[in-house]
Structure 1
């Protein structure tokens, strides 16, 4: 890649090889940039949060809540790390722990009204990103990109 620093990959060890950035680096860069954009825009709308909160927001069952162990398993982090994130989100008013109706010994992590509002804002930002993707790529190429990414995900590397 050429141009200013903002166009450079953050993955130099797997990045540009003989003038051709590899797919892993490009996917990683796209993920980081989009995540940063979502977090910044949601924060500007009144829902400040560190990126780690996306571990919960992206994986929580919005209707029933989720057990901490489920969230940890879905995200690939340890239960202790997930507990740290959840505790911070409780302090910031995004989630709360409630008794699990299926198991009185367990707790579920559920969204508060503030958490629901923050997720609604995140949904709005993501919808705007989808529109921007369509502007940049065109509708047909965007659908091709989705199809190809789905195939990569389903291949389970």
Structure 2
């Protein structure tokens, strides 16, 4: 909630409000490393190289959550937490395309309103661009508390920044 009046209104209705805890950024950063972007060569689309493409679901959020396999619902609780962190209206989903004619090229996502890409698992060659965050696969995030902590720290920095 952004204002004290909004919090008071919700309190009067008996609705609990979650307020984000702040902690010392220096100690949080020192506690665990941020997500690392794998060394993937950026392919120049003008040089005839293949540029990764994304098959996007409908939506108009500025964050694209993308993975290699279809979204199958196995990690709905985790995805719900990620959406709540980013803002559900800001999220849309996609899958890496396996065809040169399917989907939208990564270097054209900004024309579709996508400003941030959160990739679960290793992205295909030609997928890296400014604004792509690489996280472990959802199966790893769902079983590793440390991987989730690193993801939350990285997302907090991206959302606040």
**TM-score, with normalisation over the residues of structure 1?**
0.24
Structure with more contact order per residue of length (Cα contacts < 8 Å, sep ≥ 6): 2
- The structure carrying a bigger helix percent of its residues is 1
